[in-house]
Chain A
């Protein structure tokens, strides 16, 4: 099939100081091709200057989150046939500064992630040196939020984040949730203390954009709500 691929372009260094779109006509596209395959095709044979991030190409590394026909997705997990359209528009994710074409500045995103202490705090090790025990149910409790690949699709789809980059954003909350609800962790109180102020969970207005955007199908809004609940009730269950 033939596809008209419209791509956001911006490269001040090469004089493209105003955001604009280039359109490429691609012939012989397979309906099962990934959007990433189309971008590679453009880079290989149409315009080598087109820049974007990618690595694993099957939805586990989180490099290629972008806006595809207006929705945040991973370019390697969106197939042409899923979009039901012959014209496809690809743009960078919103709310982070665009550096070049589809590449945005990820630093603020990772800074937010780091701010919630995304690491296990527990120095008690069983005397025999073996593993700490955890029941299947307790392990299952936080399974959903362990899936996060830090692609930023959720945070950059959040209206609160668009208007206020001080908001830690859903991805950071998801990663805090992963530890707060892990029975082995001992710093839930500190993490909740970080998230209970005006840059934290209370800025969430349950727009559900994040849940819709997550390529790993994490129930992001639910995770945020569970964190709110833990803060208000003082109970983690």
Chain B
């Protein structure tokens, strides 16, 4: 195999967004997918609870309600035109997944089953609405498998276990990427008309995270190093319910099925913080509530975690006091058996990692770093926009968690991430194919590999006086402590300083493995560089934003400040550090108002 390839569309990343883009791009253009993991290993597969769409299979629901909930969830930072676009596209795209063969759970009348999720409300009853279409608690797994199956069917080209290390830009136009074949260590160049980044997030920046080892912010770092700004990076979601210490995700679907958060004193804590939506308030609200409870000494055994209780007795007790009903109006009553059918994987995780049975005992949970709302700025067609005026960069697309459309604003609602990847993956794939039909191949530089080779050689030839593992640990710890659920000026300033120090020390990290075949040590060190870049952009963006909004909660500025801060952050990374700029939020019919759940 030659080490130089030419494909009209090159997609980097093979999770939900990448595969959806691949399906659409390959219909109109010669397409290749490059992925550092086998596609079915992608982190989409870890998503559990559901995909949001106002299908209305169990009760009345509308696109407008979905739009409003998402706008409100975003703390009014989401672009309303994009959000409406996504909520509208949600319905056909979920049906499309079903047509592709996705094994959704079913209702009594054979339709796609739906369950309530945090922040999704019925505007008539003012109670949580059943909007999350699901396949048990394996919705992400099913989406990933189904999309991969369709790619196999359509004979999409895959370069599995190839790590993309650089984006090639020639005269302002996207010209391709450089990747290393992990199995041989050889560098490969890809000449392309359009490149789609669907590389996922950077949750591994934090100590306690639900994210995979592979979630190292590669896309963010590669693009930022090419002078592309990152949007709203200060907004990173902490999911309220990760398994204590491990951070493994316990789906919000548990609370959708009636699970309740209980503090160390045996009280249902959300009564105080969200009197109406209670445990199904949006994630930032619940995470903060848990954090405050723990800080005030009401954690379980005075520790940092709370209990998430889904035992039938507790569920039924609180369902009764909340007046929760089934769609037909009868009181909501569940059984251990029903919980087992609806949440089989959660039960399995708890048995494996905690040795407890969730239908008999409560689960110890704490907030866990979960999802990047920010990332590479795009419009609704996945086209990357590179400044305050939304100027499009020709041939460059991004979709999924690495992208910031922005539909999630300051806080993403549960089920909107799976929706995001399929809706915008599809748009990016279509647009990239269309662009490649209408444009010639841009010229491809002869020295395309040089920048990458330099990076690799630098690591291989470093004296290795610093340890990658230590730097990684220090980064995770400082980000967890100071750029986590609650933030202060002092803490974030400390974090920025620390990250810069770590970046200096990173230059001296070396590797003991000098081989070419599956040099995973070299790969890990390179990924750490991406994490440090992601961390720096996040911390600097956060330090500058002097207000509290969504996931960005500052103790020194506890209020939202729409007058000054109703705007998106843009952060450019250059040699002297991070340069910040801002751009307007697309408002619409929903005027910003106080956010109460």
Which residues of chain A have a CB within 8 Å of any CB of chain B? Answer: 11, 13-14, 32, 43-45, 47-49, 51-52, 54-63, 77, 79, 99-100, 103, 106, 110, 114, 117-122, 125, 129-136, 139, 142-143, 146-150, 178-179, 182, 184-185, 217
Contact = CB atoms under 8 A, between A and B. Distances in A.
A131 B98 contact: yes
B542 interface: no
A123 B246 CA distance: 43
Interface in B520-558: 520-521, 524
A149 B515 contact: no
Contacts of A133: 109-111
A77 B352 contact: yes
B106 interface: yes
B513 A125 contact: no
A38 to B, nearest CB: 14
B503 to A, nearest CB: 20
21 contacts: A43-B521, A48-B513, A48-B521, A49-B513, A51-B520, A56-B43, A63-B38, A63-B41, A99-B183, A114-B152, A118-B152, A121-B153, A134-B110, A136-B107, A136-B108, A142-B103, A146-B103, A146-B135, A146-B142, A149-B45, A184-B101
Given A13-B515, A56-B212, A49 B37 contact: no
Given A45-B469, A99-B518, 14 more contacts: A44-B468, A49-B515, A56-B212, A57-B213, A57-B248, A61-B40, A61-B42, A77-B352, A99-B517, A121-B153, A129-B95, A136-B110, A178-B103, A185-B101
A40 B590 CA distance: 49
B186 to A, nearest CB: 13
Interface residues of B, number: 60
Interface of B: 37-38, 40-43, 45-46, 92, 95, 98-101, 103-112, 135-136, 138, 141-142, 145-146, 149-150, 152-153, 183, 212-214, 246, 248, 345, 348-349, 352-353, 467-469, 511-513, 515-521, 524
Contact of A135 (B45, B106, B153): B106
Nearest to B142: A146
Task: Say what secondary structure dominates the interface of chain A.
Answer: loop
A105 to B, nearest CB: 8
Q: Which 7 A-B pairs have the closest CB atoms?
A: A120-B101, A133-B110, A44-B469, A119-B149, A119-B153, A49-B513, A48-B512
A112 to B, nearest CB: 12
Given A134-B106, A135-B106, A136-B106, A58 B101 contact: no
B447 to A, nearest CB: 28
B212 A61 contact: yes
Contact of B141 (A55, A110, A149, A217): A149
A44 B472 CA distance: 10
A101 to B, nearest CB: 8
B515 A58 contact: no
A147 B145 CA distance: 10
B159 to A, nearest CB: 13
